[in-house]
Structure 1
Amino acid sequence: MGILLWIAMAATRAPNYKRFPIGFVCVFMIALVSKMLASNVVLKKGSVGDSIWAIILGCFIRNVMSFVTKSSILAPWLKVAQQTELYIAISLVLLCIDISVLRPLAPRALFVSWIDTPTLFIVVAYFGWKVLKIDTQTAIIMSGATFICGSSAAIALGASMGVPHKTEMPIAIISIFTIPSIIALPYVAKRMALSATVSGAWFGGCVDSTGAVIAAASIYGDHDAINTSAIVKMMQNVLIGPLSVIMAWAWSRYELQAAYKREEELLKRNENLDDAVVQEQALDDTAGEDSNTPSVKHPRNIHAPSKPKEKAYILLWKRFPKFVIGFIITAVLFNTTISDDAETRTRVNDFCFYVSEWFSTLSFVSIGMGLQLSDIKQNIRSLGKLVTLYIVAQMVDIIVTCVLAWTAFTYL
């Protein structure tokens, strides 16, 4: 796994790629310890998954190193292995969508996962921007992560808008605050006397990440709930690709329009300045003629040539989430080349999911390494706003998804 990543880093000539093996060993060992802690029988009862441990340990390593070296900059040999976007992209590509498994429940799963998700995503992002005064990009990332698929959606949306550095805090908040949902929702479902399929669809639609969904369904303790929750979450995961592409296109257009508007304002300001200079020159000339004194010539403002802008389609391609292509290719290959034998397909799918979860854990370690506690203290107000937005979004998601799951798996 590390060798293949090193080859990829060398092929793209990433900065300090020759030091990647050293840094990757460190990141991998943190991920390994995180998985060991998450699988501990005693600790597992608290529903603290490997993602939480990975963020905590990654953050701990980062801040200890900063304290020892008296520098907030991560060491180059470790920075090159902090490839959050690469790890999560590989994790998403390996989420093989098995059409034969999805087909029986697809219509109802679509109803639960696709009806409310895009609408609430837009509404809550607008709420965060307009009401809570969170910057637009961070509000979009937090909303997408809450309603779609946690860290995967956050990183995909951050990349599509060209702001991957704004994903770290939303992901950390979501990873921590998901724990109460994992523990509470199964017991709430039983108290409400919801059927196993309705409960599974509910978990799949409103719990953030795939691993957390399976954990919640496992606490509920019914095989049908586990299967239904996994299928609904898979259907919801499919939304990551289209929404990322749409966001890349929309944000690229927004940035281009903003750039053109800024240039027009600058040109207008310069033209007004030129007119003022001409008028002043005329007054000086008149005064010079009257007093027979030479007038002072004011140089005319010379416009610097504007930097040529990228075409919209070029900017879109740069922002386009490339994992979507890999995701589609993997799904096509899995459904066309793997035999129809159920056992074989299950083994291949389970193996891909196992490797996918490893890369996901590596991404959480990288996220933890990006969290500088001193920066968090300085931005405590922004942290409070993000937590508020997440709580509002999660409560809305829980209520709406419960209604949709009950409707879909009771009447459809």
Structure 2
Amino acid sequence: MTAKTTRFTLHEDWTVVILGSLVIFSALFFYVVPVPVYKWSNPSELTSNVLNSANLVVLLIQLVFVMVVGSIGALITGKEVKNFLLGFPAVYLLTVLALIIAGNAFIKSINLEAVIFSLVVGLIIGNLFKLPQWFRDTLSTELFVKIGLVLLGTTVIFSDILKAGSLGLIQALVVVLSVWYFAFWLCKKLKVDDELTMMISSAVSICGVSAAIATSGAIKGDPKKLSYVISMVLITAIPMMIFMPYIAAYFHFPQQVTGAWLGGSIDTTGAVVASGTLVGEEALKISTIVKFSQNVLLGIAAFAISIYWSYNKTAKGAEAVEKPTLKVIWERFPKFVLAFIGASLLFSFFLSPAAAGSVKDSLKNLQNAWFTLAFTSIGLETNFKDLFKNENKKPLYAFLIAQLFNVFVTLIIAWFLFGNAAAI
């Protein structure tokens, strides 16, 4: 009975800080979780590379580690630990299935990410079968998402941006501010609800899936709406990834400009890398820098959004004489953002390159695992029909128009900032 009342409380936010810190410090001082192999190109490689006994042991180790962390989270947040232990292995197996599908060489060549497969697998099972309520209660979507976000902070290294120069950060700031405001204004004009407005604006302007997740966490958004926004991000990234490099080649854009354009307008990091590779080495480097610059702004954006949301929602829900207070803002502020920033600062300034490098792959793998587990859970608890109801047409129109605006604005800014660099 208490699980539902504590799901989005301050108590769970502090739980995420504890669990995210536990995973990071465990890797640094106690045990580095091995990284499973998911890469394969044909059935024989699937058997020899992925389904061999050694890799299955690694997957089992990861299952035990993640399940222990999740069980601690269930215990602290008041959920039934026994039910979590019974239900979680099924979610994990579905997630591994999605990761194995995404590890196929052909799937990688077209840059489909594991999250879209985990989402689809979850949607199919969740809509074809009636899942018991006790199982649904074990999904812990918010907990999985926020732990993944804390681990994401370990990959956001500020020194890399400083080494690469300031142009990428300048572009990121201009693009994020202009595109976010345009998307926000457009959603309001189309009468899109407040939660979708915030998620769409952040997803289009900052860094796609991660920004949508961070925003949903900051405003305590509906997982079904988050699922819808993520679907739009992943689906639109595919044609952008394929066609934008050819458009740049047709108009003879310099590689620096093309890279900045790709990095600033394509929403998923994987799609940015794939499209930059199609253009050339210089375009790949610049596109990665620009996308990374946008990722750096994720924590700052989540902080600003949470403050705006706290004031806005408190003002709407309170009586006319009442004013939003700092206490209310602190109570509503997502504490995982502090853990995200703390992880970034730790890996940027306090760890040696050797220490950070020794755990980087493991933490990146666990980050991906938590995110993919979250999307499997979102799919399992989402009614597929909800994604295509008539009221969802306006958010789709808003997203597509904002994305088109993003493409043109980013190209102008990229040319202004990187056109001179290309001529040098």
Which category of TM-score, normalised to the shorter sequence, fits these structures? 0.7 to 0.9
Match for residue 319 of structure 1 among 327, 332, 349 = 332
Could you list the runs of 5+ residues in structure 2 that have no partner in the other structure? 1-64
Residue 145 to residue 317, structure 1, CA distance change in 2 (3 Å): same
Task: Provide the aligned length of Structure 1 versus Structure 2.
Answer: 354
Residue 336 to residue 127, structure 1, CA distance change in 2 (3 Å): closer
CA distance in 1, matches of 2:411, 2:197: 24
CA distance in 2, matches of 1:310, 1:365: 40
Residue 197 to residue 383, structure 1, CA distance change in 2 (3 Å): same
Match of 2:287, SS state, is helix
Q: Which residue of the partner structure matches residue 93 of structure 1?
A: 150
Match of 2:79, SS state, is coil
CA distance in 2, matches of 1:89, 1:204: 25
Out of 368-377 and 110-119, give the one that drifted further.
368-377
Q: Deviations over 1:108-147 (max 9, x none)?
A: 11122111212221221121122x1211221121121111
Q: Which residue of the partner structure matches residue 224 of structure 1?
A: 282
State whether structure 2 residue 37 is matched by structure 1 residue 24. no
Match for residue 397 of structure 2 among 388, 397, 405 = 388
Equivalent residue letter for 1:36: I
State whether structure 2 residue 291 is matched by structure 1 residue 233. yes
Equivalent residue letter for 1:147: S
Match of 1:194, SS state, is coil
CA contact (8 A) 1:82 1:369 kept: no
Q: Per-residue deviation at 1:78?
A: 4.0
Match for residue 331 of structure 1 among 338, 344, 365 = 344
State whether structure 2 residue 213 is matched by structure 1 residue 155. yes
Match of 1:371, SS state, is coil
State whether structure 2 residue 310 is matched by structure 1 residue 252. yes
1:1-400 matched pairs, under 5 angstroms: 1-66=65-130, 75-83=133-141, 85-95=142-152, 96-130=155-189, 132-165=190-223, 166-220=225-279, 222-261=280-319, 312-340=325-353, 346=357, 348-377=359-388, 380-400=389-409
CA contact (8 A) 1:88 1:152 kept: no
CA distance in 2, matches of 1:354, 1:189: 33
CA distance in 1, matches of 2:317, 2:82: 38
Match of 2:208, SS state, is helix
CA contact (8 A) 1:27 1:365 kept: yes
CA distance in 1, matches of 2:247, 2:366: 32
CA distance in 2, matches of 1:228, 1:353: 22
Residue 194 to residue 366, structure 1, CA distance change in 2 (3 Å): farther
Structure 1 residue ranges, 4+ long, deviating more than 6 angstroms after superposition: none
Percent identity, please.
Answer: 28
Out of 389-398 and 346-355, give the one that drifted further.
346-355
Q: Which residue of the partner structure matches residue 410 of structure 1?
A: 419
Q: Per-residue deviation at 1:10?
A: 3.7
Q: Per-residue deviation at 1:310?
A: 9.8
CA contact (8 A) 1:6 1:17 kept: no
Residue 258 to residue 340, structure 1, CA distance change in 2 (3 Å): closer
CA distance in 1, matches of 2:163, 2:334: 30
Q: Per-residue deviation at 1:49?
A: 2.0
CA contact (8 A) 1:125 1:136 kept: no
Q: Deviations over 1:271-307 (max 9, x none)?
A: xxxxxxxxxxxxxxxxxxxxxxxxxxxxxxxxxxxxx
Match of 1:94, SS state, is helix
Larger radius of gyration: 1
Q: Per-residue deviation at 1:11?
A: 4.3
Residue 214 to residue 350, structure 1, CA distance change in 2 (3 Å): farther
Match of 1:2, SS state, is helix
Match of 1:238, SS state, is helix
Q: Deviations over 1:351-399 (max 9, x none)?
A: 433332222222222232232023345xx22221121111101111111
Q: Per-residue deviation at 1:340?
A: 4.5
CA contact (8 A) 2:156 2:295 kept: no
The alignment yields a C-alpha RMSD, in angstroms, of: 2.5
CA contact (8 A) 1:16 1:77 kept: no
CA distance in 1, matches of 2:244, 2:124: 30
Q: Deviations over 1:137-167 (max 9, x none)?
A: 2112112111112222222222322323332
